[in-house]
Amino acid sequence: MTSDAEFRVPMSAPDVNEDDCAAVLEVLRSGRLALGPRREELETLVADYVGVRRAVAVSSGTAALHLLVRTLGIGEGDEVLVPSFTFAASVNAVLYERATPVFVDIEPETYNLDPAHLESRIGPRSKAIMAVDVFGHPAPWDEIEGVASRHGLAVIDDSCEALGAEYRGRKLGQFGAGAAFAFYPNKQITTGEGGVIVTNDDRLADLCASLSNQGREGGPWLSHARLGYNYRLDEMSAALGCSQMKRLESHLAKRAQVAQMYAARLSGVGGVRTPIVRPCVRMSWFVYVVTLDEGVDGAAVIAGMERRGVPARVYFTPMHTQPYLKGLPGAAGRDLPVTESIAGRTIALPFHNNLSQLEIELVVTALEESLAEVVG
């Protein structure tokens, strides 16, 4: 098996330039490393870009999701409808508050939450829907909000993978009670670690801000209005985020160009389906995930690619199959045919802003050769 050091193409890479470095260095030289003006600037930049009233910067996308769950009053005895085909943070945010995730199947084209299956999973304990904009493709928001309205459910947008995406001309972050974005190094912009909550609800934003800062709510520094958390974003990370936000549209354009190069090179490759993008959306490319034909062993294809010096990853391992969720009430993987069908057949290929045509050729050639080995 090839080690990470031997891979000829990186799986992902942040797009960091000298302006980013200078922004971080300026904060270090200022001596103000926490609770300063760069965090406030980042919040303003994100809120203005998304088109919402408020943004609250926090230490991660997971923290953002957790605070949204908590501030919406979701707790023990409540159920939250969430796709199984997602990253663990979507489900963990529900579990932190002792609520129960109820898994919903996904659409066969975009792998976003299926509104028809969503409605069938609603029960007397349902409190909220957490929709996930998978891989940067917007969820079907008209249908989701329609279901939520009919049943009186709160809606959280896990848009951690989709900063800059749009649904029918509206930027993600404008849907539901609030949304979460994440800024890990493989995202559209990065702060290293970090995330942000966006909302048009001032009460929710104020409560999230308090909870993220140990429950403080004005007054003396050692006065705490409520039980809170240390979910603050430091000034160095915020400064990096401010610098990156100024290039967000450039980053999105670069990623779209890489996706186009992949699509062109993969157009004649048998046994592989490239991503489907609905005409009513603007995709914000987070990763580039292909789907293998039924019956093809994705793990074997990935192993073959890695032997050729090219990394790849299964994306995602469904949550209802995760070891730590076995036996959890309501978490059984029944009635998830699409999720079950694609599990193990979705493969994330190397993807970042500056991936070259030559590197794409290396990746796709490794994929072709590995598929030939596996399929015969």
**Secondary element (H or E) of residue 130:** strand 126-132
Q: Which residues contact 88 (CB under 8 A, 6 or more apart)?
A: 319, 322
pLDDT of residue 124: 97
Q: What is the pLDDT of residue 4?
A: 46
Phi, psi of 52 (to 5 degrees): -125, 170
Q: Which tokens belong to 344?
A: 């193990």
Low-confidence ranges of the chain (pLDDT < 50): 1, 3-5
pLDDT of residue 330: 59
Q: Which pLDDT score, from 0 to 100, does residue 241 have?
A: 98
Among 164, 162, 191, 188, which Cα is nearest to 20's? 191
Name which of 138, 70, 98, 85 is nearest 321 in CA terms.
85
Question: Tokens for 222?
Answer: 């050692």
Q: What ranges in the chain are assigned the alpha helix state H?
A: 18-30, 37-50, 61-71, 88-96, 115-120, 141-151, 202-212, 235-245, 248-266, 298-307, 337-342, 357-375
Helix (H) or strand (E) holding 232: none
The C-alpha atoms of residue 297 and residue 293 are separated, in whole angstroms, by 9
Burial class, 375, CB count within 10 angstroms (exposed 0-12 / middle 13-18 / buried 19+): middle
Tell me the C-alpha distance between 331 and 235, whole Å.
39
Query: For position 331, what pLDDT does the model report?
Result: 59
> With helix as H, strand as E and coil as C, how does 181-225 read?
EECCCCCCCCCCCCEEEEECCHHHHHHHHHHHECCCCCCCCCCCC
